[in-house]
Structure 1
């Protein structure tokens, strides 16, 4: 819905519990007090529109992240090492073929015994190195499959759960043996079985599988060989093999004692030289590769350096994901093209980990995404990258519904990443476009309220709510933040409104009351939950079009909506930001005629709004809250006789409104409220409203000298004030204001000539002038003469010929008009022209 600029800094969730001097509310409303529902706005001017993105500066470090990503150092390193490895392997393969085909195949019988055994030994040693190399990479890769110290943790978990399992089995056999268990024993069995289930059964219906650290390689011993030991053994075996090949080859190349040269063996010497040269080259190439490896890994600490640049060192996972990423990149280079690693990045790698069957790998992938999404350097590019990976987004959304307490950390990390994704408009549409995404987000919210008619809620309560250590507040805040970000888009608001039970959940978080707001100060998480829920509701009810109409009806139909806001208005004097949001929600709801009546019929709401409107103001924020309360009252009293009568029942309300007409901050909304009260009142309220005539001098002065939105409202109020005056009193007030009838008539003509076409900023100014002209001609014959003299008929004909749909509505939802006027402007113009023609006759 098109409304005035946002009054709150919605991205700042930090709120002091004891508020004395409130933080400034970002708004331009005081400078433009008429910017509201009473004029149409384009979509870009929505109160609920997201904060515009700040353009990046040229040469910013945030640009082209994927060209300068820290992990590119690892992919380039993997490329260089793979080139050396494949070069060494190529030389080794050539030497092996040369030895088996040429030497052992062609010269086997003529080789000296020494050369025969040296060649054989080199081939065996080389074969050992190749075997060790392939398996070393496998075991090195395996070392990165779980987080640090995972072996100890898993062994401890196996031992602990085994003891629990034995206890449970014993208890079951005791039950079958007809021995009656005591209540304490039965309770112990239940707890043990629950612990076993939570420990061994993976949620999300995935099959449990062994990990490397679970499988003991030697069952007869009391210890388990870890992959680290095996990989190191294979590493040293390779080095020894390469050194042996180098020594043997170099020794034979130096000695050159290959035996006597015979005519049939004249090629033996060059054949052996070539073989030993190939073996020496391969060993040197491999040792160069190892030296290059150790220099970068052990001396330059490349992995630690990249880990620090990625800022992953502060997480629970530490350097493990960097190692895993490097070995994945290196494996691709070895097993495929050497350039395959250049296609890898940490975000895509983390997305692959999310599809793993193992808890540790899923958590590792999530923590990488979470860290990058929260990084000032990488956040924008990371979120853009995730937004292009549909499978990753679907997996993240799926994780939001993993309600098993064993997955609390995974679920929370996924929620944080999704909240960041939803904060980007292009990604918000993709998030909401995933099937059942809103339902998964809804599952994050839990208020403790029992919805007996909603089986899903009962199921959720049974699965999650009984876990006393489950951090519901964190998930509530994340769920509300996601919904808040998603609701920036019109289509997403429709989906949120059509998700079963979600609106009721959101409204539940606005529950406060006197005990929480005054007696028991809200905790930081509680006040954030209330604030975010109000922000979500505000964005939903301020949606434009049919979607906004539907949402306003649905939200106003929830019995707790208005009463919860009433509690905030009544007891939230120390939480002015919450009051501001509550009033803005009422303002948007008041756009709907039925909701307007429901708000007015909720006891105390109108009284509280009047109290806030008239409350002494000491700060700029209090000014803005008063302005918002005034606009809400103006909407609530628009074409609502019930609400107008309720307002008039308040003590001396008319006198107070008249007094605020001289207040620069409140005068526009005071004029609107007074006009609505006069327009909707019946004869029974004539005496109560008679005091409005005291405002005549102030209003007439504004009509004669102002040229702004105040002019429009002053003209409208002037017509209503004159209704409570006799012609004599009208003339008397003009004289008190030093305004002659001629001057007054000429001023009205000037206004029509100035606004000779519909004006977006002042859509009702021509209607108010024509209404005032009609009243003057009906009450005073002299004005017919003056208007005829000044050719008012020409100006009114121009109004009739230029009327537009813009002037048919008193309020607007964006560019859509609401609450059409009973009498059109063209009909009013016809009446005015008929009165002028009667005088001419």
Structure 2
């Protein structure tokens, strides 16, 4: 029998124990007990004060003589205390229940439907500090400090309350700045938020999501990446669902409901990418992202967009946003300067899905120009590295897709920047890459490229592509390159009329293309263009005179002008006399004295020069001087 009494579930020993130990019920019980005791105190004190029946008081007995007065004083004080307590209770009941004090504070703090729990807890804690300590302890409390303390609690309920408050204040336009500054100076709180990113329990999802959103805001103010284990914690937010064949099936979309609002479009994936995007603005942190095990492949996984997703006009916005954010992060990593950038570009290009994912976006992303331009810019940055250039050119369809965008006249005018970006990528891929140039020749795009020289949107990049094809294709492509000489009249006309960058690239294209023409062909080209060789020589002389100190906008304009002048003097000795009469020798001396390192490189990554020109400026000046001397000697010998 005793055993049955303790183990039976039919007749529990304490049937109301569960009800008693629920905190809400305990609070109600204590509340009514306080009112009952205070009311009883008032009733008893009033009865005693009215009746004043304190027993017989004998004269001469000092102990009994003062009993009546003492009891009157005692019951008066008890009555006053009870009345004050009931008055205070009535006042707060009126403020809280009738005037809706807590609701008013909750609305003011913009905490939403769940905020009442937080507000009530805040008032209780403030009251407790006033009672147990000093009233100033309670007055000094604020919601952010209160939430930060709860965040460090061992109770999941208290952690949730703290996370909700900090999240709401962090995203509020009114309170975010002060809130984030206060969190930012507390290293322990940041560490706690980073730690919460790793929590995987289903019941802790709201805490985890709130921590991620706070950190996404905080990433703009403090170096979150400096917290030990921060990058690994951020990496834990990224998850890609995969089908049985290894391809991305669909993007993980965990539905989080906060304050009765559906935040399904803001999944953990989105928050993780958002944090990385903000952190990647710092080039030092980009290096940390690259060094975090498994993080780069996760980012690249999100760039996988199926054809149906890209082409469908009503594609899920959250999926498009995820692809876009991953491309933005990847673009920032690929464009990092210095040794960290070099290593990142190497690692990004070595991941087998990077280029093929971008190729799919280029081929099928007509409805998503933002994604296309991000993909193109990533390829342009990766092409800085020779190995990456080979991988891009060797991935089937990439060059064809880029030219398809570059030559596509049907692209709306407001999306023309995509065409310009494609041209820049192609010029980079052709730079000092024989294999890329040969692959471009196989596409048979010479005629389209020549026509592009006349299109204002395309002419700069078309000229750069032409120059690189002529300079780096090799002898195997002589016949294809010879066909590009048909562009000479257009190029000559641009040199004579244009200024700055367009003039620079046209002179650069001319200095390479004209090498594939003999003297007879060149004269025909000058006639077609309606330009005399003297006029071109004079134009080149004026350019050398004007750009004594070339800027970063036209770093190679003097180099290209010298290359073209050298070709002219070699092509026709009469041009030597022309340049001599213009005073080229004196101008060459000036060029020799003002040559800078800026003129030694093809492109730049920040302030660092890349792809140094094979022929130094001093060598070009010396060659031009020698040709002038040879011309003098020839005339003297005659």
Shift of 1:376: 2.6
Query: Quick one: which of 421, 426, 429 aligns to 2:218?
Result: 421
Match of 1:308 in 2: 107
Query: Quick one: which of 2, 25, 29 aligns to 1:230?
Result: 29
Query: Quick one: which of 552, 556, 562 aligns to 2:345?
Result: 552
Shift of 1:566: 1.1
Match of 1:299 in 2: 98
| Equivalent-residue separation in structure 1 for 2:62 and 2:321 (angstroms) | 96
Shift of 1:348: 2.1
| Equivalent-residue separation in structure 2 for 1:432 and 1:492 (angstroms) | 7
Are 1:568 and 2:361 an aligned pair?
A: yes
SS at match of 1:435: coil
Mapping for residues 803-814 of structure 1, pairs under 5 Å:
803-814=595-606
CA deviations 1:230-264 (Å, max 9, x no partner) are 221233045326645974898699x9x99989999
Shift of 1:562: 0.7
The higher relative CO (CA closer than 8 Å, separation ≥ 6) is in 1
Deviates more, 1:359-368 or 1:750-759: 359-368
Match of 1:383 in 2: 180
| Equivalent-residue separation in structure 1 for 2:356 and 2:496 (angstroms) | 43
Match of 1:53 in 2: none
Query: Quick one: which of 428, 436, 448 aligns to 1:635?
Result: 428
Mapping for residues 42-441 of structure 1, pairs under 5 Å:
219-221=14-16, 224-225=19-20, 226-237=25-36, 239-240=38-39, 243=42, 247=46, 282=81, 285-287=84-86, 289-314=88-113, 317-422=114-219, 424=220, 426-427=221-222, 429=223, 431-441=224-234
Mapping for residues 477-516 of structure 1, pairs under 5 Å:
477-514=270-307, 516=309
| Equivalent-residue separation in structure 1 for 2:607 and 2:182 (angstroms) | 35
| Equivalent-residue separation in structure 2 for 1:469 and 1:714 (angstroms) | 56
| Equivalent-residue separation in structure 2 for 1:258 and 1:772 (angstroms) | 131
| Equivalent-residue separation in structure 2 for 1:621 and 1:660 (angstroms) | 19
Are 1:754 and 2:546 an aligned pair?
A: yes
| Equivalent-residue separation in structure 2 for 1:634 and 1:647 (angstroms) | 11
Match of 1:577 in 2: 370
SS at match of 2:604: strand
SS at match of 1:690: helix
Match of 1:526 in 2: 319
Shift of 1:310: 1.7
Match of 1:617 in 2: 410
State the Cα RMSD in Å: 3.4
Shift of 1:808: 1.4
Query: Quick one: which of 441, 456, 459 aligns to 1:664?
Result: 456
* Change beyond 3 A, Cα 1:807–1:556: same
* Change beyond 3 A, Cα 1:639–1:513: same
| Equivalent-residue separation in structure 2 for 1:692 and 1:701 (angstroms) | 16
CA deviations 1:451-495 (Å, max 9, x no partner) are 9xxxxxxxxxxxxx9x99999992222222222222111121111
Shift of 1:516: 4.6
| Equivalent-residue separation in structure 1 for 2:305 and 2:62 (angstroms) | 106
Deviates more, 1:241-250 or 1:502-511: 241-250
Shift of 1:654: 1.2
SS at match of 1:319: helix
Q: TM-score, normalised by structure 2?
A: 0.86
Shift of 1:835: 2.2
| Equivalent-residue separation in structure 2 for 1:252 and 1:732 (angstroms) | 133
Shift of 1:509: 1.6
* Change beyond 3 A, Cα 1:246–1:301: farther
CA deviations 1:591-638 (Å, max 9, x no partner) are 111111111111111111111111113423431111110000000000
| Equivalent-residue separation in structure 2 for 1:580 and 1:420 (angstroms) | 27
| Equivalent-residue separation in structure 1 for 2:243 and 2:290 (angstroms) | 20
SS at match of 2:135: coil
Shift of 1:669: 0.5
Match of 1:834 in 2: 626
Conserved in 1, the CA contact under 8 Å of 2:435 and 2:473?
no
Match of 1:817 in 2: 609
Match of 2:529 in 1: 737
Match of 2:333 in 1: 540
SS at match of 1:339: helix
Conserved in 2, the CA contact under 8 Å of 1:613 and 1:627?
yes
Query: Quick one: which of 461, 467, 482 aligns to 1:690?
Result: 482
* Change beyond 3 A, Cα 1:270–1:609: same
SS at match of 1:810: strand
Match of 1:157 in 2: none
In the alignment, structure 1 segments of 5+ residues that lack a partner are: 1-162, 167-216, 452-464
Shift of 1:590: 0.8
Mapping for residues 791-802 of structure 1, pairs under 5 Å:
791-802=583-594
| Equivalent-residue separation in structure 2 for 1:518 and 1:524 (angstroms) | 13
* Change beyond 3 A, Cα 1:280–1:611: same
* Change beyond 3 A, Cα 1:551–1:602: same
Count of aligned positions: 604
SS at match of 1:224: helix
Conserved in 1, the CA contact under 8 Å of 2:256 and 2:267?
no
Shift of 1:799: 1.8
| Equivalent-residue separation in structure 1 for 2:265 and 2:318 (angstroms) | 10
SS at match of 1:822: coil
CA deviations 1:624-673 (Å, max 9, x no partner) are 1111100000000001111011101112x111011011111111100100
CA deviations 1:104-156 (Å, max 9, x no partner) are xxxxxxxxxxxxxxxxxxxxxxxxxxxxxxxxxxxxxxxxxxxxxxxxxxxxx
SS at match of 1:818: strand
Conserved in 2, the CA contact under 8 Å of 1:245 and 1:279?
no
Deviates more, 1:442-451 or 1:793-802: 442-451
Shift of 1:680: 1.0
Shift of 1:266: 11
Conserved in 1, the CA contact under 8 Å of 2:39 and 2:82?
no
| Equivalent-residue separation in structure 1 for 2:367 and 2:60 (angstroms) | 106
SS at match of 2:612: coil
* Change beyond 3 A, Cα 1:272–1:735: same
SS at match of 1:756: coil
Shift of 1:543: 0.9
* Change beyond 3 A, Cα 1:438–1:223: closer
* Change beyond 3 A, Cα 1:625–1:269: same
| Equivalent-residue separation in structure 1 for 2:256 and 2:35 (angstroms) | 48
CA deviations 1:803-828 (Å, max 9, x no partner) are 22211111111111111111222222
SS at match of 1:819: strand
Shift of 1:540: 0.7
SS at match of 1:326: helix
Match of 1:68 in 2: none
Conserved in 1, the CA contact under 8 Å of 2:361 and 2:371?
yes
